[in-house]
Structure 1
Amino acid sequence: MPVANAEVEVLIVGGGPVGLTARALLERWGVRVLLVEKHGELSPFPRSRLVNVRSMEIFRRLGLTAGITAMAFAPEYGRIRFRDTLYDRDFATAAMVGINAPVPESPVTGVVTSQDRLEPTLLAAADAPVRFGVELVDLAEEAEEAEEAEGAEGVVALLLDHHSGAETRVRARYVLAADGANSTIRQRLGIGTTGPGAVGRVTTVVFDADLDHWRDRHPAGVYFTTHGYFLPLYPEGGWAWIVPTPEDVAGTDWSGLVSRALGSGADVRADVRADVRVDVLRVEHWVVNAFVAERFRQGPVLLAGDAAHAIPPAGGMGMNLGVADVHNLCWKLAGVLRGWAGPGLLETYETERRPVADRTLRQAVVNTHLMFDVQNRRQEQLSTGSAAPTEVERPWSDRYFAQLGLVLGVTYRSAAVLTDHSTPPEPSDEPSDEPSDTGTDYVPTALPGHRMPHLWLTRDRSTLDAIGEWFTLLTPDPTQWERPTTSAWPLRIEPLPHEHADLCGLRPQGAVLIRPDGHIGARWPNGLPSDSTLRQALTTLTCFTPAT
């Protein structure tokens, strides 16, 4: 069978939330994209359950928040409950701050929703072609002589359509590997990983049971019991049960196991029928991985999401970390492809995102230990033989599961960030010593490298809404910031209300330059040092010097 040929600017491999988000972002930049997914359809399993505040901010820019929220659980489900069995009373609980109620630090609220509800919304967010049932089977770098002289890179990918058996050779300037923790591309490139690796094998059992009335009286996104995790899947019904995978998978009576795990607590007769029927719909066995790739880039191939880092599920951070990856990466790819950024800008992707992945992995491990600590304390109480107290002292503060510092307090240090003195800081893989490094409390700041704080520009328009497919210069006095020499870059200059100037560390003629991903690239507290200041900053941030 002859091999067909095609050409795109970016080939995305992997049709999960990360790949689909990248497709939507790149299309906003006008980049020609093809996404391929080896499975024949979107995942039917719930998998990731949490869309955090930062991801919702990104989806707000794509116009998706209303649709995502409409299919998600109500805010009161943004809670974890610890119980002996599902029907028992709580012996500990924790709120998911930023999910269970709005927070002043953001114009949006995160939600509890299932991945199989999120993915169709992301798929519909762009028109770029998607080919399901198509697998990448070969990959090679290619550079024509004319392009080599310009420093351009290219990749030739061989794709196999499992439905028709047809092969297609696709040439792309870049490949974005979002093909999961067992990434074929990462393994093909020989990129190793650091971290514990596989830390357990678990099974997800999706089932139906008449528990809706009881669930609505005890709302939570996760019920952590001594017999596994119980997760309500959709507002209209459906459940998942997650447990360690038994040795005899083939001979397991899953309906019987789920029924026994539901239990028969003291208040079961008041809340549910003791003979509730369990209908098992699907069973999936999977491996809990914990690692970070040794590098996020090899030539024109860039890793994102679980291909770059696999995060244990405690805290719901894995998918959200991947969404933030591509939000960081896509504007850089667009800049290089559209000619207003140099290839060196792509080097800042790993410099900025790998430390965030390392830190998030550490936090997920801490979350896991803390949750098991609660269960261990409960087991110790029950083993004494006396009546167990109704509560267990929690090993965290009320704000521990807030994690706003982890998701909103991310700080980048790279050549794409200038200090207030307009010199690039030295990149560092060490954990930040700033207040937000605890992973809990978030202190808004307009220092370079930080996410621009959410401030209301008008009654219903945030500073985050001023950010898009361009650089944004926010200043109390736009008349002092002309741009006759900066037309090479997409740039908008917008007024910042004077009441916000102090919070941003600005005097009346100062300004902050915000990158397309919402992080501050530069700040001039006192105003314009020279006529060429803005041009010089954009030249440095984008690794590109336009012709004069």
Structure 2
Amino acid sequence: MPGADTEVDAEVAVLIVGGGPVGLTARALLERWGVRALLVEKHVELSPFPRSRLVNVRSMEIYRRLGLAAEITANAFAPEYGRVRFRDTLRGDDFATAAMVGVHAPVPESPAIGVVTSQDRLEPTLLAAADSPVRFGVELIDLVEEAGSVVAVLVDHRQGRGRETRVRARYVVAADGANSCVRRRLAIDTAGPGALGSFTTVVFDADLDRWRARQPAGVYFTAHGSFGPLYPEGGWSWFGPTPEDAAHVDWPDLVSRALGPGSGVRADVLRVQQWTMNAFVAERFRHGRILLAGDAAHAVPPIGGLGMNTGVADVHNLCWKLAGVLHGWAGPGLLETYETERHPVAHGTLRQSVANTRLMVQVLNRRRDQLEAGERASARVGLPWSERYFAQLGLVLGVGYRSAAVLGDDDGAPPEPCDSGTDYVPTTRPGHRMPHLWLTHGRSTLDAFGEWFTLLTPDPARWEQQSDAPWPLRVELLPEERLVSCGLRPHGALLVRPDGHIGARWRERPPNDAALRHAVSHVVSTTTRSTRPGGGR
């Protein structure tokens, strides 16, 4: 067991455990912040399974900032695949359909557009996005906190060596999935429904274009499981409940029967993966210097595509805070706000994902009842939600944080808590994602944010004299025609955190020459107790 004077083989600022999209995104974000991390993944390579299929509009905003959006889009399906279709069989006609919001077509609330793409197409792009070391085939088996660090015991399984090494890290980010070894070793409990059942994903080749060419979709829900095209050039997946005696199932026959009687198609099965659909949120996201992210912190049903995307937003919230602490311009207390801000989001996401699953089942049940009542097969089924894909844009773009890293508005109102509603209403209230507004042709407010704090103001000269400080900060001109949208007057300002969420708002001129310094000091440290953006200590 490691101790205070443990000899170690390497020392790193951050150890990332888990090489899925969340861990790889954390690695890219930290490197952009000048923090070189070490990522370890127990599998010997990136996952060959498609798994997550949707990169939503908020994740694409984050990848746009990392310079990855164009490549991700180039490897993805065309926007018309951003739709779900309900059919009796894949060969049949739609009895219901809905567009995926922010994927099927651009939305005015964002400069980005989400994409339908398989996780095994996304991960290579994320892996290539940073140079920080990655060690595949290396499993974490133990970790112990010491004074000012964490010592992790790793086992290298490559070529059967089984050699143990010890790595000392200032912080550990556990992104090692729903069955997180790190969460189990820390004895962090979970809350929620838990395991919802055993499911199987079958990856197969078959010529099915004649049934989808004129009506493309990212997912086709049927009474015999769900089908999804994997890549623009071909390939399919089937997903459904795991049959009894799965070890003896003829998977090509099962998929062929699921396609419907008389299909005449024999599926060429390439891979089969059995997995458990989980629904839970970890009771805490932090244990000292160890922080949980992604499925390690919250596992949600896949219907609606919220799981991976919520994990990407986790590390987008976390990594600038880690960088600030490691670079010395933020206090360690800033990391406390990670759990404070993201825990409510995880619970809201879980509720919505469970609701999405019930809505999907409700549609299929309505169809069954309709057919049993003798209605014609061409009859439509009304969807129990709006045309927006499972009505989730409010949860994707409308999250509001309430923590010590957000100041109350200058009207005295406290920050608003996370809103898990399904409708998105842009707002510049502190704690919320800064709305997308065009600053100039082709340049969004979201393009102004990066590895720094941003002050958006129509009066830069008045505020720039306050910008000399140890933390990274840029003053950005806000066009006067955007004042009403932002709730500002001619000398007001918005302080935007590096993750694009508003930290403070002054509707009018600063109350004193130290207002900006006090505000950023409050955001990056828990020592400042004022909750008004103009306040002092």
TM-score (norm 1): 0.92
Q: Verify the 8 A CA contact 2:16 2:23 in the aligned structure 1.
A: yes
Q: Name the aligned partner's letter for residue 44 of structure 2.
A: G
Distance in 2 of aligned mates of 1:61 and 1:534: 25
The residue aligned with 1:413 is: 402
From 146, 155, 161, the counterpart of 1:160 = 155
Query: Which residue is equivalent to 1:191?
Result: 188
Opposite residue 197 of structure 1, the aligned amino acid is G
Please state how far the C-alpha of 1:4 moved relative to its aligned partner. Answer: 6.0
Q: Which residue of 2 aligns with 1:470?
A: 452
- 1:537 equivalent in alignment to 2:532: no
Q: What residue number does 1:218 align with?
A: 215
Q: SS state of the match for residue 250, structure 1?
A: helix
- Residue 148 of structure 1: aligned partner: none
1 CA distance for matches of 2:272 and 2:232?
21
Residue ranges of structure 2 left out of the alignment (5+ in a row): 1-5, 529-537
Paired amino acid for 1:254: W
Deviation string 1:270-290 (CA, Å, 9 cap, x unpaired) is xxxx42331000000000000
> 5 Å matches for 1:41-440?
41-143=45-147, 153-163=148-158, 164-264=161-261, 274-399=263-388, 401-421=390-410, 425=414, 432=419, 437-439=420-422
Post-superposition CA distance 1:268-319 (Å, at most 9, x none): xxxxxx4233100000000000000000000000000000000100100000
1:79 is matched by which residue type in structure 2?
A: R
Shift of 1:424: 9.3
The whole-number CA distance in structure 2 between the counterparts of 1:387 and 1:10 is 60
Tell me how far 1:426 sits from its aligned partner.
Answer: 7.2
Please state whether the residue corresponding to 2:345 is helix, strand or coil. Answer: helix
3-state SS in 1 of match to 2:347: helix
Query: Structure 2 matches for 1:6-25, cutoff 5 A?
Result: 6-25=10-29
The C-alpha deviation readout for 1:137-169, integer Å capped at 9, x for no partner, is 1100111xxxxxxxxx21000111001322211
Task: Kindly state the Cα deviation for residue 404 of structure 1 after the two structures are TM-superposed.
Answer: 1.3
Residue 3 (structure 2) aligns with: none
Which segments of structure 1 move beyond 3 Å, counting only runs of 4 or more? 385-389, 422-428, 483-486
Structure-2-length-normalised TM-score: 0.94
The answer on whether the counterparts of 1:415 and 1:425 sit within 8 Å (CA) in structure 2 is no
The CA deviation string for residues 50-79 of structure 1, in whole angstroms up to 9 with x for no partner, is 000000000001100110000100101011
Q: Residues 72 and 125 of structure 2 are in contact (CA less than 8 Å); yes or no, is this contact kept in structure 1?
A: yes
Q: Which runs of 5+ in 1 are unaligned?
A: 144-152, 266-273
**Identity percentage of aligned residues:** 73
Q: Does 1:456 align with 2:438?
A: yes
Deviation digits for residues 430-459 of structure 1 (CA, Å, limit 9, x no counterpart): x64xxxx421x2111111111011111111
Conservation of the 8 A alpha-carbon contact between 2:41 and 2:139 = yes
Alignment coverage as a number of residue pairs: 521
Paired residue secondary structure (1:82): strand
3-state SS, counterpart of residue 464 of structure 2: coil
The answer for the alignment partner of 1:268 in structure 2 is: none
**Quick check: 2:144–2:152 contact (8 Å CA) kept in 1?**
yes
Residues 337-377 of structure 1, C-alpha deviations (whole Å, 9 max, x = no match): 00010011001001100000000100011111111011111
From the superposition, tell whether residues 156 and 424 of structure 1 become closer, same or farther in structure 2 (CA, over 3 Å): farther
Name the SS of the counterpart of 1:479 in structure 2.
helix
Contact persistence 1:3–1:167 (CA under 8 A): no
1:526 aligned onto 2:508: yes
Aligned partners of 1:422 and 1:30: how far apart in 2?
37
Shift in CA distance, 213/319, structure 1 to aligned 2, threshold 3 Å: same
Is 1:516 matched up with 2:498? Answer: yes
Displacement of 1:330: 0.3
2:120 is paired with a residue of what secondary structure? Answer: helix
Counterpart amino acid of residue 322 in structure 2: L
Corresponding letter in the other structure for 1:315: G
Asked if the contact 1:419–1:522 (Cα under 8 Å) also holds between the matched residues in 2, the reply is yes
**Which digits, 9 at most, give the CA deviation of each residue in 1:453-506, with x for residues without a partner?**
111111111110100000000100101112456421100001001110110011
**Cα–Cα, structure 1 residues 390 and 480, in superposed 2: closer, same or farther, change >3 Å?**
same
Q: 2:44 aligns with which of 40, 53, 62?
A: 40
Distance 2:476 2:156 in 1: 48
Q: Rate the CA distance shift 1:346–1:176 in 2: closer, same or farther, 3 A.
A: same
- Distance, in Å, in 2 between the alignment partners of 1:82 and 1:483 is 59
Partner residue, 1:482: 464
* Counterpart residue number, 1:150: none
